[in-house]
């Protein structure tokens, strides 16, 4: 499962950067039609699917911003209770 999540993260980042490059190139040369063609639509669909799958896997594993903040707060409380130096 961890390997799948790592692969999804890499694919998502690569596709996102591809679309950023396509958008910049399309601004400089709109006649090349980088953004509005069949290949770009399939790549955009792949980006959306990877993003949704990555979110679903993260939620299934209990990973979200609130849980990580709660874990950090709990660790901070445990360190303070044990008298550890936090500086």
What are the helix (H) ranges across 2-37?
2-28
Residue 72 falls inside a structural domain: yes
pLDDT of residue 85: 56
Q: How many residues does the chain have?
A: 87
In a domain, 65, yes or no: yes
pLDDT above 60 for 35 = yes
pLDDT of residue 81: 67
d(CA 46, CA 10) in angstroms, rounded, equals 13
Q: Is the pTM of this model over 0.85?
A: no
pLDDT tens, position by position, 45-87: 999 999 898 888 888 877 666 666 666 677 777 766 666 555 5
Q: Is residue 49 part of a domain?
A: yes
Encode pLDDT of 7-22 as tens digits: 888 899 999 999 999 9
- pLDDT score for 65: 60
Does residue 87 fall inside a structural domain? Answer: no
Domain assignment present for residue 86? The answer is no
Q: What total of structural domains would you count in the chain? A: 1
Assigned domain for 54 exists: yes
Domain with 52, as residue range(s), is: 2-81
């Amino acid at each position: 499962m961890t390997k799948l999540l790592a692969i999804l993260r890499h694919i998502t980042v690569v596709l996102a950067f591809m679309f950023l490059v396509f958008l910049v190139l399309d601004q400089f040369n709109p006649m090349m039609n980088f953004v509005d063609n069949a290949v770009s639509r399939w790549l955009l669909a792949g980006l959306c699917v990877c993003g949704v799958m990555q979110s679903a896997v993260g939620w299934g594993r209990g990973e979200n911003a609130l849980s990580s903040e709660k874990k950090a707060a709990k660790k901070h409380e445990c360190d303070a209770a044990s008298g550890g130096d936090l500086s």
